[in-house]
Structure 1
């Protein structure tokens, strides 16, 4: 594996994206005629073992601290090892519209593999497909290449660029139950539509597999987020107090994005039998 910080500039007549081989990380995506839709901070730090802020981090094989026996499992690193791995790029399929990455269990250090929900005997082949045009489609496919069931959590932790999150609304979640991660994971329900942001932290795991619309009043646009293979959606913005404490964000950058994530985690974690595969996909477009 080539452990270099290669960043690929995918450009065509419909849009462009920057994608890092480290983490198979979409850093930005800009459809033609629009401001960037996938957000990246003013300063992007590349350091082995450290996750990249912004863009679309690939979360696998656990989410957050992991989950076991009804509570956080205390796993390290947070959000798994995929986002800090050097993925292989499939050069045979690389075009001005498409890049395909692969990661195998043999690429992972034994001490990290031991942290997977299925333990150190876990065997997998993961493919991450990024298609760039006037839409951005990202698909993570995980195949169980071992002899025992494979359990994992996964997500596309997508940062969407907005003019000001306090002038942003998300529709498509009314009457949807969620876990409030900012309030000790208490179960709640979205009783109002749309979801709005007031500068306090929003960190919620919605039991939602539907399409969401992100209405950005400041930039006068609506971003549509579609997905498949994901029964949950995480919506996250750290808010002013926590956002200004995040070390790799500049002061005030917290209001330039909202994360809308395609997720399988906690009680919705995926288990696949030997030889089976599971795919989770997210498509973003500007309406």
Structure 2
């Protein structure tokens, strides 16, 4: 941290290093001390720390850091599908590919220019990808860390093929929580959801807030663009702001499922919760030459900033 008289240069806040597999990782930092780390394996955010150095994302202690498998934790990018259907691997291939740094991205018309530091990544299909999903695309991802420590991901997917294609998408965000039984989600009340544990049958949420006492694997439909995850014990609230992402996935594997996953600790379900901005129920159709944008912004704020009423959370964000 320099003296306040020094001019802060965002470019100096970006550091590229290699992980133990020799794959580039990009670390973003801002003057107040927050940081984020992005791996070019999957374009995946693998760390997001607040100004006190506390890790805000969950990564399993048993996560496998080796291509071509996606790492269990952080924010994997699920594209061109979420879930498991057809010939594609589960959650699509984007999270398993090596991305490149995009040094000449086209301008991003966005209202989130909050300073801070950012990195632009690019994914294009390989010959192998085209065999299982025969569509030409350019996927540009910008990961930004705002001066206040908020994390912003903007995905732009352009169809450079001569025919339209469909895809589904999710930012599969693993939040670090104190204890799953102390956590609740606000903003999804009264919504319809598809329950993946009951053959994707459709139900309507009855609770005032979503709390956790057993395995949950749901896709909430036509959700508001602001959702909050309140961690009572840590007195911390994650505020999720999204654009172009109508659905929200809520997932916690609970005890039995945890024991069946090789890259997940038996008891780790207590310290994590996935809440994803997503587009799943109605796949995105992209015509030749057209571009889709999906944006996610996450803030971690002390719960004292928010009363129990969700309206106040919206008020903070403005």
Settle same-fold status: TM greater than 0.5.
Answer: yes
Distance 2:208 2:131 in 1: 42
Q: Tell me how far 1:92 sits from its aligned partner.
A: 6.4
- The DSSP-based 3-state class of the residue aligned with 2:27 is strand
Residue of structure 1 equivalent to 2:102: 90
Question: Deviations 1:87-128 (Å, cap 9, x if unpaired)?
Answer: 0112568x97111110112xx233x33433xxx2x1111101
Cα distance in 2 for residues equivalent to 1:163 and 1:109: 44
Q: Note the C-alpha offset of 1:43.
A: 4.4
Structure 1 gap ranges (5+): 66-72
Map of 2:123 onto structure 1: 103
Aligned to 1:81: 93
Question: 1:202: which partner in 2?
Answer: 216
> Contact 1:172–1:193 (CA<8 Å) still a contact in 2?
no
SS of residue matched to 1:269: strand
Matched with 1:68 is none
Residues 5 and 46 of structure 1 are in contact (CA less than 8 Å); yes or no, is this contact kept in structure 2? no
2:286 match: 272
Task: Give the Cα–Cα distance (whole angstroms) in 2 for the partners of residues 109 and 154 of structure 1.
Answer: 22
1:60 aligns with 2:79: yes
Distance 1:4 1:156 in 2: 25
Equivalent of 1:189 in 204, 207, 216: 204
Partner in structure 2 of residue 9 of structure 1: 27
CA distance in 2, matches of 1:6, 1:158: 21
Unmatched runs of 5 consecutive residues or more in structure 2: 1-17, 106-114, 302-318
What is the TM-score with the length of structure 1 in the denominator? 0.88
Q: How many residues align?
A: 269
Which residue matches 2:300?
286
Aligned-residue RMSD, C-alpha: 2.0
Secondary structure of the 1:235 match is: strand
Which secondary structure state, in structure 2, belongs to the residue aligned with residue 113 of structure 1? helix
After TM superposition, which residue ranges in structure 1, 4 or more long, deviate above 6 angstroms? none
What is residue 259 of structure 1 aligned with on the other side? 274
Larger Rg belongs to: 2
TM-score, scaled relative to structure 2: 0.80
TM-superposed deviation, 1:283: 0.6
1:226 maps to 2:246 = no
